[in-house]
Chains A and B, each alone.
Chain A
Amino acid sequence: MGEWMTVTDPDLSSDSKNICQYTSETKMSPSSLYSQQVLCSSIPLSKNVHSFFSAFCTEENIEQSVSYLDQELTTFGFPSLYEESKGKDTKRELNIVAVLNCMNELLVLQRKNLLAQENVETQNLKLGSDMDHLQNCYAKLKEQLETSRREMIGLQERDRQLQCKNRNLHQLLKNEKDEVQKLQNIIASRATQYNHDMKRKEREYNKLKERLHQLVMNKKDKKIAMEVLNYVGRADGKRGSWRTGKTEARNEDEMYKILLNDYEYRQKQILMENAELKKVLQQMKKEMISLLSPQKQKPRERADDSTGTVISDAEEDAGELSRESMWDLSCETVREQLTNSIRKQWRILKSHVEKLDNQVSKVHLEGFNDEDVISRQDHEQETEKLELEIQQCKEMIKTQQQLLQQQLATACDDDTTSLLRDCYLLEEKERLKEEWSLFREQKKNFEKERRSFTEAAIRLGLERKAFEEERASWLKQQFLNMTTFDHQNSENVKLFSAFSGSSDRDSLTMHSRPRQKKPQNMSNGSPVCTSKLTKSLPASPSTSDFCQTRSCASEHSSVNVLNITPEETKPNQVGRECANQKWSMASRPESQEGCYSGCSLTYTNSHVEKDDLP
């Protein structure tokens, strides 16, 4: 067997056809015993199988061949074909039982070997395809590697270029900075020069001015100078005061007075502003304390040291608050106290608000989850209720129809009543129309729901099927792995184990996952729904059946309705019907929708059937 493997192994990868031929040949061999021998011997032997077989035993050499076989078998560990010799000289007798046993054993062995061989062959095929796949993968990856390498080179190139650009830009920036520096220096130097020039010019100008002044003062007569012609007396009749040191001092005093007044005014303003701000702070603090006091106990329970101390501080501050006069002092300590306490309280408030925010977000999250779950349950309940409603409505319609028929039989005797009825009828017709439209809509919704449930059921079936398949394949593989392992030679074992290990693990996980899923699925709506659907209609296990029965039911109702067109319905009955409906709705406020849609289903069905009629 090992030999065979070594021979075929190179062929396996290069030429799989050869193997196929070979295996078919071996399978076709007539005698299992023989093929067993063939397997044990080398391949060239198999080529001239028949000639060898024909030459092995003849009439003449039975003895020899038996002894040969005996020898061979004993070397292979089988019991001897001969009976135990009683004496040396006596010829040993052929033991038929032993021969048969041997043959049987050989046959069993042969069958086992054949099975093993088949397994090995399939394994080989699989390995071959795996190899191909791997080679493809390898090629692809190589390509990918190449492309990525190229990309990398491109990127590197781009990076280099960008770096180059960056360097250039840096250089430019540096140049610009230098330029700016230079220009600034130029500006500064120009400014100094300009100032210098200006000063020079100004000095010249001053000299000229002086000259001009001298000239003007010398040349011009005093007469030409401007003079006040008519002086006006002061309103208070006072004369101008002399300039003395006294006036000077007085001016100074006045100036300082003005300044002082200004500063006083400003100080007053600032004081007022401060007072206002303090008031605001105080109020803020008060409000904070009042706001935080209900929460005082909670943080204490938590035994949080920092908040505990802060709160005790807050209490102290609250006590201090009574001493309002204290705040009028603009002393630094008081200010500090106030700001500190405010800061502390602010911190508490902030942490509190943050906590609240966290809680709110948590609640939100939980709320969403809850909603999800509830909605699904609601759906199930709703469907159940809908089924019930349908039944009830059908019954109700039936009774109504009966009543209507009775009424019809007795009606049409009084004109006035008929007129009245007509009036009612019109009204009722309108109302009915409205209700029909409403029912139709609800029916649509219901149908939609039903469709989604059937889809879910189908999905579940598919999933189950897939899972079954997976399990089968996994079992198969497991089996294959188990059977093939021990016969591999070292190289193949390595290769195979690398695959089988991974595939085994995969299949295991694949296997386990659906198994975990399964109960979840069961709890998750769809399968339960289907079960419920079937429950509601016990005879029909599948959804298609369910549909059939439903259509039957609708036919039933339609047949019933057929007898009466809406024009013929009597107002009294319709009114009663409505009353009935109302009653049913009132009796189950929580299942209003279900009632509606249930009714709508039957109604629309009947309506459709009616429309089909001429």
Chain B
Amino acid sequence: MNFSEVFKLSGLLCKFSPDGKYLASCVQYRLVVRDVHTLQILHLYTCLDQIQHIEWSADSLFILCAMYKRGQVQLRITVWSLCTKSVSYIKYPKACQQGVSFTRDGRYMALAERRDCQDHVSVFVCSDWQLLRHFDTETQDLAGIEWAPNGCVLAVWDTCLEYKVLLYSLDGRLLSAYCAYEWSLGVKSVAWSPSSQFLAIGSYDGKVRILNHVTWKMITEFGHPATINNPKIVVYKEAEKTPRLAPGRLAFPPPRAAAGVASPAETKYEIASVPVSLQTLKPVADRANPKIGIGALAFSPDSYFLATRSDSVPNAVWIWDIQKLRLFVVLEQLSPVRSFQWDPQQPRLAICTGGGKVYLWSPAGCVSVQVPGEGDFQVLSLCWHLNGDSLALLSKDHFCLCFLETEDRVGTAFGRPGDHT
């Protein structure tokens, strides 16, 4: 595993182009476009103000930089055509968790709307922004919408106050409505499997429910208990590799690293013997957005695995075997998991915890890798390159690329667990 040098970055704005050739990153009001392989700067654009958002065009020919400070208030969606001078307006968009969703082929856009205290969904044809379907949804306060990867089914979920998931066909028919329980906080996260076969719904009761695409009924539910008793489940526990020096032997001006927040000690994974009890957070009940429930969900690109994070067990990532519909692996980190992302090419999960390490899991095992370089590089976010060869690691002020070896060498580099495979 190799690491590039560290580049400056602001606002965690760093994105690979959709064709995988370029890497765009922002430093204050500058936009830097680099070649992915050489990392040489290809272009450097200077904007009038600090950049707050960037977005590649689908053909990787354009980049959008947003400076919200310079925007103006408009209560509608405006669609500008870059080729023709046409401008389209869409009224009544709903500001919510996920109010807009494009199908994967870019042909249709679904938009959540709110009119007369009633939620609606409009489906537009993206080629000419014609309204294809418009229907109201049986929701109290719609919170999000998402197309299935095949673009034929739209999942709509209600606000967290009510557990309600609605499934609409592209032509606006209600396919199914699902409600797991009542009178309690409901849906927290939703994810489609890449095969469009499953819809995983993470909720505030700490469970993931998986719906199938034939009957839209629940196939199974995955609980996230804090203790793991099943000996079939492998629990990887991150542990510090070297014991710390005795206090008497510390050098007098303490080294910079020791003074830092995160310890530079290298860590490794150990296979914990069951039963394992995971660290749990006691949620504060009287505050908004309690730290409970399933905060993050992601299917692996082959739909074989599902990675989840329960916010009440913040240090753990749960990886579920979707073929066998059971828990497969649990990774327990030393600090709370910030984010995780699947390799787009193979079942390989990259995890960051806001420390100086990046963690990789594959069915063969898992590794903890220290990001080299001076000082701390606190990995706050990460994103995979399209082909799964490299990984951009983003910290508050810097970013670097992590190049992964070819698969055969990775296999040997990964620590193989003794008791599974």
Chain A positions within 8 Å of B, measured between CB atoms, are: 184, 187, 191, 195, 198-199, 202-203, 209, 212-213, 216, 220, 224-226, 228, 231-234, 239-241, 243, 247-248, 251-252, 254-256, 258-259, 262, 266, 270
B82 on interface, CB distance cutoff 8 Å: yes
List which B125-146 residues lie within 8 A (CB) of chain A: 125, 128, 130, 132, 140-141
Q: Which residue of A lies closest to B85 (CB)?
A: A231
Q: Which residue of B lies closest to A263 (CB)?
A: B152
Q: Which residue of A lies closest to B84 (CB)?
A: A240
B323 on interface, CB distance cutoff 8 Å: no
Query: Which A residues lie within 8 Å of B81 (CB)?
Result: 228, 231, 240
Q: Out of B73, B114, B128, name the residue touching A212 (CB < 8 Å).
A: B73
Query: Which B residues lie within 8 Å of A241 (CB)?
Result: 128
User: Is A226 in contact with B152, judged by CB distance below 8 angstroms?
Assistant: no
B242 on interface, CB distance cutoff 8 Å: no
User: Is A255 in contact with B170, judged by CB distance below 8 angstroms?
Assistant: yes
Q: How many contacting A-B pairs (Cβ < 8 A)?
A: 76
User: Is B117 in contact with A256, judged by CB distance below 8 angstroms?
Assistant: no
Of the A-B pairs whose beta carbons lie under 8 Å apart in the complex, a sample of 7, sorted by A's number, is: A209-B75, A216-B74, A225-B72, A240-B83, A241-B128, A247-B130, A258-B152
B78 on interface, CB distance cutoff 8 Å: yes
User: Is B128 in contact with A240, judged by CB distance below 8 angstroms?
Assistant: yes
Query: Which B residues lie within 8 Å of A220 (CB)?
Result: 72
User: Is A216 in contact with B73, judged by CB distance below 8 angstroms?
Assistant: yes
Docked pose: A114 CA to B278 CA in angstroms: 98
Query: Which A residues lie within 8 Å of B82 (CB)?
Result: 228, 231-232
User: Is A259 in contact with B72, judged by CB distance below 8 angstroms?
Assistant: no
B169 on interface, CB distance cutoff 8 Å: yes
User: Is B141 in contact with A198, judged by CB distance below 8 angstroms?
Assistant: yes
User: Is B150 in contact with A224, judged by CB distance below 8 angstroms?
Assistant: no
Central interface residue in B83, B125, B183, by most chain A CB within 10 Å: B83
Q: List 8 A-B pairs, minimum CB-CB distance, nearest first.
A: A240-B84, A262-B152, A199-B117, A234-B83, A251-B125, A202-B117, A232-B82, A228-B80
User: Is B75 in contact with A251, judged by CB distance below 8 angstroms?
Assistant: no
List which B101-119 residues lie within 8 A (CB) of chain A: 107-108, 114, 117
User: Is B84 in contact with A259, judged by CB distance below 8 angstroms?
Assistant: no
Central interface residue in A191, A224, A239, A262, by most chain B CB within 10 Å: A262
Query: Which B residues lie within 8 Å of A231 (CB)?
Result: 81-85
Chain B positions within 8 Å of A, measured between CB atoms, are: 62, 71-75, 78, 80-86, 107-108, 114, 117, 125, 128, 130, 132, 140-141, 150-152, 161, 169-171, 183, 213-214
Docked pose: A184 CA to B73 CA in angstroms: 42
Q: Out of B125, B128, B152, B161, name the residue touching A259 (CB < 8 Å).
A: B152
User: Is A233 in contact with B169, judged by CB distance below 8 angstroms?
Assistant: no
Q: Out of A232, A234, A258, name the residue touching B170 (CB < 8 Å).
A: A258
Central interface residue in A209, A212, A254, A256, by most chain B CB within 10 Å: A254
Query: Which A residues lie within 8 Å of B74 (CB)?
Result: 216
Docked pose: A255 CA to B169 CA in angstroms: 11
Measured between C-beta atoms, what is the minimum distance from A79 to chain B in Å?
Answer: 108
User: Is B130 in contact with A251, judged by CB distance below 8 angstroms?
Assistant: yes
Docked pose: A299 CA to B86 CA in angstroms: 85
Measured between C-beta atoms, what is the minimum distance from A200 to chain B in Å?
Answer: 9
Measured between C-beta atoms, what is the minimum distance from B192 to chain A in Å?
Answer: 14
Known: A232-B62, A256-B171. 6 other contacts (CB 8 A): A195-B140, A225-B72, A228-B81, A231-B81, A259-B152, A266-B213
User: Is A212 in contact with B78, judged by CB distance below 8 angstroms?
Assistant: no
Measured between C-beta atoms, what is the minimum distance from B103 to chain A in Å?
Answer: 9
Measured between C-beta atoms, what is the minimum distance from A182 to chain B in Å?
Answer: 13
Query: Which A residues lie within 8 Å of B141 (CB)?
Result: 198
Measured between C-beta atoms, what is the minimum distance from B24 to chain A in Å?
Answer: 18
Measured between C-beta atoms, what is the minimum distance from B59 to chain A in Å?
Answer: 8
Docked pose: A256 CA to B141 CA in angstroms: 30
Docked pose: A536 CA to B107 CA in angstroms: 107
User: Is B83 in contact with A233, judged by CB distance below 8 angstroms?
Assistant: yes
Query: Which B residues lie within 8 Å of A187 (CB)?
Result: 183
User: Is A243 in contact with B170, judged by CB distance below 8 angstroms?
Assistant: no
Docked pose: A216 CA to B75 CA in angstroms: 10
Q: Which residue of B lies closest to A270 (CB)?
A: B214
Measured between C-beta atoms, what is the minimum distance from B87 to chain A in Å?
Answer: 8
User: Is B150 in contact with A262, judged by CB distance below 8 angstroms?
Assistant: yes
Query: Which B residues lie within 8 Å of A228 (CB)?
Result: 80-82, 85
Docked pose: A256 CA to B169 CA in angstroms: 11
Docked pose: A270 CA to B152 CA in angstroms: 18
User: Is A226 in contact with B84, judged by CB distance below 8 angstroms?
Assistant: no
Docked pose: A199 CA to B114 CA in angstroms: 11
Q: Out of A198, A212, A252, name the residue touching B132 (CB < 8 Å).
A: A252
User: Is B132 in contact with A184, judged by CB distance below 8 angstroms?
Assistant: no
Measured between C-beta atoms, what is the minimum distance from B134 to chain A in Å?
Answer: 13
Measured between C-beta atoms, what is the minimum distance from A229 to chain B in Å?
Answer: 11
User: Is B75 in contact with A213, judged by CB distance below 8 angstroms?
Assistant: yes
User: Is B117 in contact with A255, judged by CB distance below 8 angstroms?
Assistant: no
Central interface residue in A187, A226, A239, A255, by most chain B CB within 10 Å: A255
User: Is B130 in contact with A248, judged by CB distance below 8 angstroms?
Assistant: yes
User: Is A243 in contact with B130, judged by CB distance below 8 angstroms?
Assistant: yes
Measured between C-beta atoms, what is the minimum distance from A573 to chain B in Å?
Answer: 62
Q: Which residue of B lies closest to A224 (CB)?
A: B72
Docked pose: A209 CA to B214 CA in angstroms: 42
Q: Which residue of B lies closest to A194 (CB)?
A: B161
Q: Out of A184, A216, A226, A243, name the residue touching B128 (CB < 8 Å).
A: A243
Docked pose: A252 CA to B131 CA in angstroms: 10
Query: Which A residues lie within 8 Å of B140 (CB)?
Result: 195
